[in-house]
Chains A and B, each alone.
Chain A
């Protein structure tokens, strides 16, 4: 074999092995969008000299891929810090002892679940279409539903879009609504909603697209997806927060048995800092600095009970929406 051949083999082996067990580095699994997270990690590296190795979720499997990876690696953790974008998932992982026992995870900032409407279809009903942080809130008009309960009205038949209620933040929202209304009322509402032929899509950004295109007039989605749609010029507006709105903070957690605990702690603290949260708010990845800022009467779920009932709630949702 020639010298060139062996050089290639050596280079390939070095590449495959990698050299990533550096003390001044930290491995982070990130459910937040890469475009928002990367600049923050760069700032962290500049400030601390700690190198970050980020693993983002993929469009295909979303946060569930990272969550399942954390679980699969539980016995021999590779990840130091998990940056989540939905509290429900983080609490599920915490319940499975994925995070360290003391000060395992924390929530920061908040976005929300909102009802959106197409401003072209509902012309005249909306004068304000922006969901930027400091913009005035749109004023509800009679034509828009005042409550999620109204989504089952015949007027909205085939005109409502939402992500599959078994997945993501929509799932957490439906779980919380069950707690709010009680099982019977919730099941009746779910059945009536399913019978009203809503568009069930595979994600919250798809909800915004459906409403923007006019296929649906009303949607139930996340505030950051609405903001992204508005930045792209989509004719959509969000209804104000209501008693049925759910707040969704970002979360940061240190993994139990993290390979780089000191660096993990520094990143854990850094991500919760006001500078970072303000930055996320400024790019509309988050809506508010903290849940405490929000005075509107939104859903305040009993999370322990929610996690406890998760399996039975999911079973009901499957039965109703996956037939």
Chain B
């Protein structure tokens, strides 16, 4: 066991979780108090931040803060450091906390804010917003912690040695899956421990409209808090989305190579979109079924989250072991096994939200509607707002 590397990984993961939480929750405060168009626009940009490839963001910041970076003269920060890794991973993961907090605060009722005018500013957060979001934020924290713990590419580029490198040696050089699995136990145990702490928690993704108007939320939050959170949100979006995209778009190479690259990889691009769309649809569909069958958040949730947190190569090898058998060729050789793998992987993220939406639905209303023979239409209308946002997240 390489303890120094494990310590590095734990430090990176913990620091990333803390900074991403601060940024994400602050952004959620700003968006909860903002109008619909600003909120939707910012959420879309936050989703872009989640979708950007880590190596792209890292290379962008190397061009800015590396040894010969464009900003290096007036901002002499050392990007080749643990701090640099935490900075990049924070920019890549803060939207998890934004989605979690905003989703939780959508349940706010006007009465909760109006009943006590003194409940404002820091007190509002301490006594109302934090308790409401604590559970969802815990789960978001677990996701961010594990993603940062398993991250290898960003720390490697920025010269920070981390534990996943040790596991990769087992896979890469020795081609010994079992040894790699044994060596990689901390990468499995860490999420298991987190799941034990966080079990029974339900993930709520942000949906269309909450019960509290933006103006009321803003008034209770106070001008200072709201202004500060808006500035921080703007900076977060600039650093995590605008800067990498501007750098990518501003490069002549991007435009000169875009068409040839698209031409060469067109089938792969098509497959990626197709797989993402079908996976998202199946994942949310499975979540709806799961929510109807299992009435409490604890049912099966821990196992699904474990499948999400486990390094993908372990999951892939397990699926090969299960499905690569003579009688199952019809399934293994088609697209089915790929979709099964992706749905299994992402069911915890997309499915748990859909399942939660089902659980929170008014059963009597659904039953009444179902009896009126409008089953499909009613279900789609009732869950439409949840499902559309979830599908975006899963994609």
- Chain A interface residues (CB < 8 Å from chain B): 2, 5, 15-21, 34-35, 38, 56, 59-61, 64-65, 67-69, 71-73, 75-76, 78, 92-93, 96, 164, 166-168, 171, 199-202, 206, 209, 213-215, 232-233, 310-311, 314, 318, 322-323
Contact = CB atoms under 8 A, between A and B. Distances in A.
A214 B63 CA distance: 10
A35 B334 contact: no
Contacts, number: 130
B289 to A, nearest CB: 14
Given A201-B157, A215-B67, A34 B152 contact: no
A92 B175 CA distance: 8
B171 A68 contact: yes
A166 B161 CA distance: 13
A211 to B, nearest CB: 11
Which 3 A-B pairs give the minimum distances between C-beta atoms?
A18-B334, A16-B336, A202-B156
Interface stretch (B35-43, B318-326, B344-352): B318-326
A119 to B, nearest CB: 14
B292 interface: no
Chain B contact residues, majority secondary structure = helix
A78 B324 contact: yes
A18 B336 contact: yes
A15 B320 contact: no
B264 A18 contact: no
Given A21-B333, A213-B68, A318-B166, A72 B173 contact: no
A53 B4 CA distance: 44
Nearest to A93: B175
Given A167-B172, A323-B161, A20 B68 contact: no
Given A15-B334, A215-B68, A166 B173 contact: yes
Given A18-B336, A34-B264, A71-B175, 14 more contacts: A17-B331, A18-B335, A34-B265, A56-B268, A60-B153, A69-B316, A69-B320, A72-B177, A76-B324, A78-B324, A93-B175, A166-B169, A167-B173, A199-B159
A129 to B, nearest CB: 17
Contacts of A201: 156-157
B329 interface: yes
| Most B-side CB within 10 Å, residue of A19, A60, A168, A322 | A322
24 contacts: A16-B334, A16-B335, A17-B330, A21-B333, A65-B316, A71-B175, A72-B320, A75-B324, A96-B175, A167-B172, A171-B173, A200-B156, A201-B157, A202-B152, A206-B157, A213-B63, A215-B68, A311-B174, A314-B174, A318-B166, A322-B161, A322-B166, A322-B169, A323-B161
